[in-house]
Amino acid sequence: MIHTAKFYLKLSNEDINFLENKYWEFISLISCKIDDVYKEKGIATTFTKIYSNWYMYFTIDFIKLIGKSDIKEADYSKVQDKINQYLYDIFQDNKRELILIRLDYRLDVKVEAKADRETIMYLYNKTAEKYKFKRKYNEYDTTIYFNSKSIQSKCYDKEAERIDKLQTIEDYEKSILRFEVVLENKHLNYMKRQHNIEKNLKNYFKDSLYQKYMLENLGVLLYYGDYYKIYSAEKIIEASDIKKSDKNLIRELLVDISKYGVTGAMEVTNKKGYKKYSKYKFLKYLRLLKELGVNPILIPKNMKAPAYIKNPFQLQCSGI
């Protein structure tokens, strides 16, 4: 569920004096001594002066913190105990107000075949170029971003990323497609201001919020239904009880998306120069495809790939 989070707390003059006496270092250098103990345990610490005030920032990798990759809401108390121990080791107390300023939600799905992962990433490149305030960025063949100013979403081949960076692949990262939604401080401030959700870990360490953010930020862009080549998709459509006229137009839409991508297909015009698909029809055909379990993005018929690939995101969308 959760991968990492970043927090800060404001230091008083008493805190600074206590820490400098305890660690025999200037406040600006103390983080190195704390990291010697805690970085391998999943917590990285920095001290920063902003104007006349000192702040302690720390980022937590929850997988390393509790030694578990499949983190759920039920793990909250274990996580909080580890954070309390960290704070007590530093300050000799854990009565601190921690302000959450970034949170990374994640979903890992194992796709064993490398060729299937590569095909899926190729298909994700055909998704819509923008949705509401989000825009798509395809920086690498193995990573796709959908970013706004306050929320970042991405899907990527975690194993390929590790290989590209010459980093060790952890057991829980092998054959993994990772889906991430990052809540930036701007969004957390908005949620506090508009919905009275305080910026603390407990409020966001909830399965319900996790599902909401994953589905609203990635589900709407990756679409539902499994991936087929045109022949297999046509058989499913033809066997349905959809009207004949709609069947023909759905097939045309699938072909147009294959040629131009989702955004390009929205702009296709007919012989008279009018848009081929109104917004109503476009959304209607996407809805019908969803009901049939067919993703609107087809596997190219000439691609050396299976005729069918299970949608990895859809595997989880009914109960992330």
- Residues of the chain predicted below pLDDT 70: 128-142, 314-320
- Locate the DSSP E strands across the chain: 2-11, 43-50, 53-61, 99-110, 130-131, 134-140, 143-147, 151-157, 176-183, 227-228, 308-309
CA 289 to chain centre: 24
| Residue 313 placed within a domain | no
CA 271 to chain centre: 41
- Two tokens, residue 138: 């395809």
Pair (122, 20) in one structural domain: no
> Which pTM value belongs to this model?
0.87
Pair (69, 164) in one structural domain: no
> What total number of domains does the chain contain?
3
| Residue 34 placed within a domain | yes
| Residue 312 placed within a domain | no
Residue 141: per-residue pLDDT: 60
Pair (195, 253) in one structural domain: no
- Two tokens, residue 73: 């809401």
Could you give the CA distance from residue 226 to residue 269 in angstroms, rounded to a whole number? 28
| Residue 241 placed within a domain | yes
Radius of gyration of the chain measured on its C-alpha atoms: 24
- Locate the DSSP E strands across 112-166: 130-131, 134-140, 143-147, 151-157
Pair (66, 118) in one structural domain: no
Pair (218, 129) in one structural domain: yes
* Domain that residue 42 falls in: 2-97
Residue 139: per-residue pLDDT: 54
Q: Output the domain CATH number for residue 50.
A: 3.30.1370
- Per-residue model confidence as pLDDT tens digits over 8-26: 999 999 999 999 999 999 9
Pair (128, 193) in one structural domain: yes
- Two tokens, residue 100: 């959450």
Q: Determine how many CB atoms are found less than 10 A away from the CB of residue 181.
A: 22
Pair (257, 272) in one structural domain: yes
